[in-house]
Amino acid sequence: MRIHYLLILFILIASSCGNGKNKSDAYGNFEAVEIQVSSEVQGKITDLKIEEGQKVSKGQIVLTIDTVQLYLKKMQLIAQLNSSGSRLLQVQSQIAVQDEQKKSLDREQNRLEKLVSANAAPSKQLDDINSELEVLKSQIASTKIQNQTISFDVKAIQFQIAQIEDQLNKSNIINPIDGTVLEKYVESGEIVTPGKVLYKIADLSVLRLRVYISGDQLGNIKIGQKVIALIDKDKDQNKKLNGTISWISQEAEFTPKIIQTKEERVNLVYAVKVDVSNDGSLKIGMPGEVKFSE
């Protein structure tokens, strides 16, 4: 009878030790890097091509905002640019004529200076040429200022056209990453404004399991380390998945209320992120466990 009692006690102790070995090292929940895509322009949604749960490729146009007003504004600016361009050509032609006039007067001035020096021409003719040159120089300076002003106007209009073209391009919402649409916040026909969130997307091919460890465990892990992630397979069994530690917090924090660590209750813990390839069984917010070694 004594031997039978000792045998039962030995089995219980062995079972208890086994359960300790099977206990996970850390616990947490799965999360994904979620991106909120917003509008940068104002207008009515004319073409919406996404639904919640839909997989969308990077670079795909998923939504179009009405561009009629922007297009009309661009056409108006192009007309102004053409008008200013014509004025600029006229002023530049005027400057060219004035330059030729100045060259002619310069030659006449030089000729009269020689004649006056030889007493072959009255000095009044030279004074008249000098006066004409001063007037012409003033006219050239004024025309050049006018030319510069119109040039600035042309550049300003060109910048405005570039701004409109940028807004036209941004009227086509381009999806930033390969991922799955988590939530859609707008419908076709709605008016959106700059900063309005249109939809939320995340890459679900790899989810991150955020777990918390104690300071005693910190020395046993490193970034890039391969670990085993566990999720519930059924009521009694877990499903194993391969994971890699991608981030370890540099600062301790108080234990979140929903987390139980290996010691079950510690004051300060460190957050750790484990990247786990998603075979379709992982969902955002799902609880998970980690074993740092088998």
pLDDT of residue 15: 39
pLDDT of residue 111: 85
Determine the Cα–Cα distance for residues 108 and 47; give it in Å rounded to an integer: 72
What would you measure as the largest C-alpha separation in the chain, in angstroms?
A: 153
pTM beyond 0.85: the answer is no
CATH 2.40.50.100 fits 35-66+172-202, yes or no: yes
Does the pLDDT of residue 21 top 80, yes or no? no
Burial (CB < 10 A; 0-12, 13-18, 19+), residue 227, is buried
Q: Predicted confidence band at 219 (pLDDT cuts at 50, 70, 90)?
A: confident
Does the pLDDT of residue 18 top 50, yes or no? no
pLDDT of residue 259: 54
What percent of the chain is helix, strand and coil (3-state, nearest 5)? Answer: 40, 30, 30
Does the pLDDT of residue 287 top 70, yes or no? yes
Q: Predicted confidence band at 116 (pLDDT cuts at 50, 70, 90)?
A: confident
123-170 and 68-117 are packed helices; what angle lies between their axes, rounded to 10 degrees?
A: 160
Which distant-in-sequence residues (6+ apart) come within 8 Å of 39 by Cβ?
65, 173, 192, 193, 194, 195, 196, 198
Domain 25-33+203-291 superfamily per CATH: Efflux pump adaptor protein, beta barrel domain (2.40.30.170)
Q: How many residues does the chain have?
A: 294
Does the pLDDT of residue 4 top 60, yes or no? no
Which range has the top average pLDDT, 12-21, 71-80, 100-109?
Answer: 71-80
Q: Which helix (H) or strand (E) holds 245?
A: strand 238-248
Could you give the percent of the chain with pLDDT greater than 70?
Answer: 88
Q: Which helix (H) or strand (E) holds 65?
A: strand 61-65
Domain boundaries along the sequence of the chain: 25-33+203-291, 35-66+172-202, 68-170
* pLDDT tens string 28-45: 999 999 999 999 999 999
